[in-house]
Structure formats: C-alpha cells, structure tokens
Amino acid sequence: MIAGNVAEHLGNIENIVSLTPGQYTTGSLILMVSYGAHFAFILYFLTMSFSLAPRYRIVAILSAVVMASAGLSLLREATLWQDSYAFLDGMYRPLAEGETFTNAFRYGNWTITVPLLLTQLPIAFALSRPDLHRRAIRMAIPALLMIWTGLYGQFGEIGNWTQLNVWGVISTVFFVWLIVEVRGTITAGIANSPPQLVAWPKNIWWYFLATWGLYPIAYALPQLGFTGDVVVTRQLLYSIADISSKLIYGVILSRYVLRRSALEGYAPAAEALETSPLGAKVASVRGD
C-alpha cells in the first residue's frame, strides 16, 4: 500500500493500478495504433498538398506538422507505458521498473497542436489576412489557458478530487470561451464558403464539438474508480479523440479546400476530383 502523500506525487492512476495481461496489451495496442496512424498520415497530407491551390496548401502542411508532433508524443507515451510496467506474479505492476507513467506529456503536445488545428480553420475558409490573424490569436488564448489549467488539475487525479474538479471547472470556462471564438470563425466560414460547400463548415462545427468534447470526459474518468478497465478505457478515449480531432479532421479540411481549389479554377484540384460530381461539373464549366 502506498502512503497517501506519496501517492499524490505519482500523478496518474496508471501508477497505482496493476493490469491483467489483457489490459496491458490492449493499452500497448491502443498507443501503438495511435502513433502509427499519425506518422503514416504525414505522407497523406504532404502529397495531398500538391493538389491544392497555393493559398490552401498550408492547411494540409499544418496537418502534416500536427501528425509529426502528435506521433512523436504518442510514441513517447507508448514507450513510457512499456517501461513503466513489469510482469510479476501474473499481473503487470506499475513502478516495478522505477519509472512512472504520465499523461501530462499529452498536454505539452496539445500546446503545439491545438493552436495549429484552430489556425487551419480561418485559412481553409479563406478569410482575409488581418481577420485570420485576429481569429487565430483569439482562439489560441482560451485554448492555451484551457490546456494549462487542465494540466495542473490532472495531477490531482489520484484522489485529490478538489484539485481535479476545481481546475477542471476553470478549464471548462476557458473551453466555453474557446467554443464561442470557434463559432465566430465557423460563422465567418459559412458566409465565405462557395454556395456548393456551405454544408462543410456547418458540419465541421458539430464535428468539432463532438470530438473535442471527448477530452474532458477522459479527464474526469478516474473518478469512476482506480481500476485497470478505467486505465484502458481512458487511453482508448484519448486515442479516439486524437485520431478524430487531428487526423480525420485534417482529412475533412483537406477535402474541403480541395473542392474550393477546384471551384476557384485550380486545374490539379479539378482533375483530382474528376470522378466526383463536383469535379466533373468544374471540368465541364472549364470546357475540358
């Protein structure tokens, strides 16, 4: 039994729960799939950028940067997972290797990726430069405050519910502020989208809410109990949230700017879309 004051310094529940071989392997698998997917999609986004009109190319390139950054961070989590447990008496035991696991690195990584993900929106919506800069900064400020207050709060998850919940609520206030700023950017995006594509920013709004909303659930989860199932479920939630809020989100934005590129007369984009109704239409308008 670990004394309470020592336990508090162990940060995350991963360090106080023993895992069955099944739980341990599932955790390894989840982390491996996460970093593998992120690294692989660097190639997708870099090659995709060639089909985009120059003004939108940076949208796909930023996704590639996010993939590299998240991939490295998740690879670190996976290695740490492996280093933190040792197989003793039929269970995978934490701390057995003198190493502690932490989810805090994720928050460090979000500090880089979240402002980039948000900045992709006004670029994809082709907002004017001054508006784009203003919106990017106005979204980044509550986003960073949300992440850093959450980072502090999550150190309370081993039993210090006051720290977890008070900072969780403060972080949620910044999240609500962020949601208001994102809504403003999306509204500008709806106004500035070609008529054929207005459904895209509208859907991106709901997609944003559904996928970013998974993170606070993962944050609160340890309150359900210190069990192996909670440990594994939380890694799964993080993984689903990561793949959807970064990777699939990047694919959606890239497909949107590919269509915009075609509608604005950029030939490689129209050719890439030739088999879709939109591409065929653009090609016929251009008289190809």
Closest CA to 104 of 80, 86, 83, 71: 80
For residue 286, the 8-state DSSP code is: T
Residue 39: exposed, middle, or buried by beta-carbon count in 10 A (0-12, 13-18, 19+)?
Answer: middle
Q: Quick one: which of 41, 85, 215, 256 contacts ligand RET (CB under 6 A)?
A: 215
* Smallest distance, ligand RET to C-beta of residue 103, A: 10
172 binds ligand RET (CB under 6 A): yes
Q: Quick one: which of 15, 171, 185, 193 contacts ligand RET (CB under 6 A)?
A: 171
Neighbours of 87 (CB within 10 A): 12
147 binds ligand RET (CB under 6 A): yes
- Among the candidate windows 8-16, 37-45, 144-152, 187-195, which touches ligand RET by CB under 6 A? 144-152
User: What are the beta bridge partners of residue 87?
Assistant: 92
What separation in angstroms does the CA of 93 have from each of 16, 21, 87, 102, 251? 8, 10, 6, 15, 39
219 binds ligand RET (CB under 6 A): yes
Q: What are phi and psi of 264, to 5 degrees?
A: -85, 5
Q: Is 93 helix (H, G, I), strand (E, B) or coil?
A: strand
Q: Which residue is nearest to ligand RET (CB)?
A: 150
User: What are the beta bridge partners of residue 88?
Assistant: 91
Nearest-angstrom CA–CA distance, 252 and 245: 10
Q: Quick one: which of 110, 125, 155, 266 contacts ligand RET (CB under 6 A)?
A: 110
Give the interface size with ligand RET as a residue count (CB under 6 A). 18
115 binds ligand RET (CB under 6 A): no
* Smallest distance, ligand RET to C-beta of residue 188, A: 21
Site string for ligand RET, 236-255 (x = CB under 6 A): ---------xx---------
45 binds ligand RET (CB under 6 A): no
Q: Which residue has the tokens 């990726």?
A: 113
Token digits of residue 44: 């997708």
* Smallest distance, ligand RET to C-beta of residue 273, A: 28
Binding site residues, ligand RET, CB under 6 A: 70, 110, 113-114, 117, 146-147, 150, 168, 171-172, 175, 212, 215-216, 219, 245-246
